[in-house]
Amino acid sequence: MSGANNRPMTDDAPILIVDHLSMRFGGLVAVDDLSFVARRGHITALIGPNGAGKTTVFNCITGFYKPTSGLLRLAHPDHGVFYLERLLNFRVAKLARVARTFQNIRLFSGMTVLENLIVAQHNTLMVASAFTFAGLLGLRSYRSAETAAVDKARYWLERTGLLARADEAAGSLAYGEQRRLEIARAMCTDPVLLCLDEPAAGLNARESAELNELLKFIQREHQISILLIEHDMSVVMQISDHIVVLDYGVKIADGTPEQIRNDPKVIAAYLGVEDEEVEKVGAEVGL
Amino acid sequence: MTDKATHTAPQLSVADALKDAALAALVAFGLFFFLIGLRSEQGPTGALLVTTRWPEFAMVVGAVFLGAFGRALVFGRGPIRIGGEMPSWVTHALAVAGRFAAPALLIFAVLTPVLFYQNRYILDLGILVLTYVMLGWGLNIVVGLAGLLDLGYVAFYAVGAYSYALLATHFELSFWICLPLAGILAAFWGVMLGFPVLRLRGDYLAIVTLAFGEIVRLVLLNWQTVTGGPNGISSIPRPSFFGLPFNDEEGGFAATFGLEFSSTHRIVFLFYLILALALVTNWVTLRLRRLPVGRAWEAMREDEIACRSLGINTTTTKLTAFAIGAMFGGFAGSFFATRQGFISPESFSFGESALILAIVVLGGMGSQLGVAVAALVMLAGFELFREFQSYRMVVFGLAMVLIMIWRPRGLVSTRDPSLYLGADEKKTIAASMVKQGQG
B54 and B95 both lie in a single domain: no
**Contact indicator for A220, A8 with CB cutoff of 8 Å:** yes
pLDDT at A285: 63
- The dihedral through the CA atoms of B187, B188, B189, B192 has a sign that is positive
* pLDDT tens profile B36-81: 888 888 878 878 888 888 888 999 999 999 998 888 887 777 666 6
- pTM of the model as a whole: 0.83
Range scoring the smallest mean pLDDT among A126-135, B317-326, B407-416: A126-135
The Cα B180–Cα B331 span in angstroms is 7
A1-97+193-287 and A101-190 have identical folds: yes
Does residue B381 lie within any of the structural domains? Answer: yes
Query: Is position B428 within any domain?
Result: no
Could you give the CA distance from residue B17 to residue B71 in angstroms, rounded to a whole number?
8
Helix, strand or coil, per DSSP, at residue A246: strand
Kindly state whether B391 is in contact with chain A, defined as any CB-CB distance less than 8 angstroms: no
Same domain, B11 and B52: yes
Range of the domain at B57: 2-75
Same domain as B118, residue B70: no
Give the whole-angstrom CA distance, residue B197 versus residue B150.
10
Same domain, B198 and B64: no
B198 touches chain A (CB under 8 A): no
Q: Which of B137, B124, B164 is nearest to B277 (CA)?
A: B137
Band (B321; pLDDT cuts 50, 70, 90): very high
Alpha-helical (H) ranges within B223-261 are 224-227, 253-256
On whether both B232 and B129 belong to a single domain, the answer is yes
Minimum CA–CA partner of A106 in chain B: B306
Shortest CA gap B431–chain A (Å): 8
Closest by CA to B77, choosing from B64, B68, B85, is B68
* Integer Cα distance of B415 and B366 in angstroms: 7
Residue of B285, B309, B320, B438 to mutate, interface with A, max A Cβ within 10 Å = B309
Q: Which residues contact B140 (CB under 8 A, 6 or more apart)?
A: B285, B325, B360, B363, B365, B366, B367, B368, B371
Tell me which CATH code domain A1-97+193-287 carries: 3.40.50.300
Q: Round to whole Å and give the CA distance between B255 and B276.
A: 25
CB B420 within 8 A of CB A169: no
Q: Please, where are the H alpha helices in chain A?
A: 54-61, 91-94, 113-119, 122-128, 133-137, 140-160, 175-187, 205-222, 233-239, 257-261, 264-271, 275-285
Q: Is residue B130 a contact partner of residue B275, using CB atoms and an 8 Å limit?
A: yes
| Judgement on whether residues B108 and B42 belong to the same structural domain of the protein | no
pLDDT tens-digit profile of B369-389? 989 998 998 888 878 777 776
Alpha carbons A125 and A131: distance in angstroms, whole number: 8
Alpha carbon distance B204, B17 (integer Å): 47
Residues of B in contact with A62 (CB under 8 A): 309
More confident residue, B191 or B10: B191
Question: Which residues make Cβ contacts (< 8 Å) with residue B380, sequence separation at least 6?
Answer: B125, B129
In terms of Cβ atoms closer than 10 Å to its own Cβ (0-12, 13-18, 19+), residue B162 is: buried
Domain boundaries defined on chain A: 1-97+193-287, 101-190
Same domain, B254 and B365: yes
**Do residues A56 and A22 touch, judged by C-beta distance below 8 A?**
no
> In total, how many domains does chain B have?
2
Contact between B308 and A166 using a beta-carbon 8 Å cutoff? no
- pLDDT value at residue A1: 39
In B, minimum Cα distance to A124 occurs at B292
Distance from CA of B130 to the nearest CA of A (A): 24
Decide: A20 and A70 in contact? Cβ < 8 Å: yes
Q: Residues B154, B58: one domain?
A: no
State whether B125 and B255 are in the same domain.
Answer: yes
Does B214 reside within a domain? yes
For B436, the enclosing helix (H) or strand (E) is none
Instruction: Tell me what the pLDDT averaged over chain A comes to.
Output: 85
Same domain, B122 and B40: no
Same domain, B245 and B364: yes
**Overall CATH class of domain A101-190:** alpha beta
Please check whether residue A100 touches B, CB under 8 A. yes
Higher pLDDT, A41 or A275: A41
How confident is the model over A183-219, as pLDDT tens digits? 999 999 999 999 999 998 888 888 888 999 999 999 8
B265 and B349 assigned to the same domain: yes
- The closest alpha carbon to A97, from A187, A178, A160, belongs to A187
For B297-374, strand residue ranges (E) read none
Chain A within 8 Å of B314 (Cβ-Cβ)? yes
B-chain CB neighbours of A102 within 8 Å are 305-306, 309
**For residue B302, what is the nearest residue in chain A, using CA coordinates?**
A108
Locate the chain B residue with the closest alpha carbon to A93.
Answer: B311
Distance CA A62, CA A56 (A): 10
The beta-carbon neighbor of B415 closest among A64, A93, A110 is A110
Which ipTM value was assigned to this complex?
A: 0.86
For residue B285, the chain A residues in CB contact (below 8 A) are: none
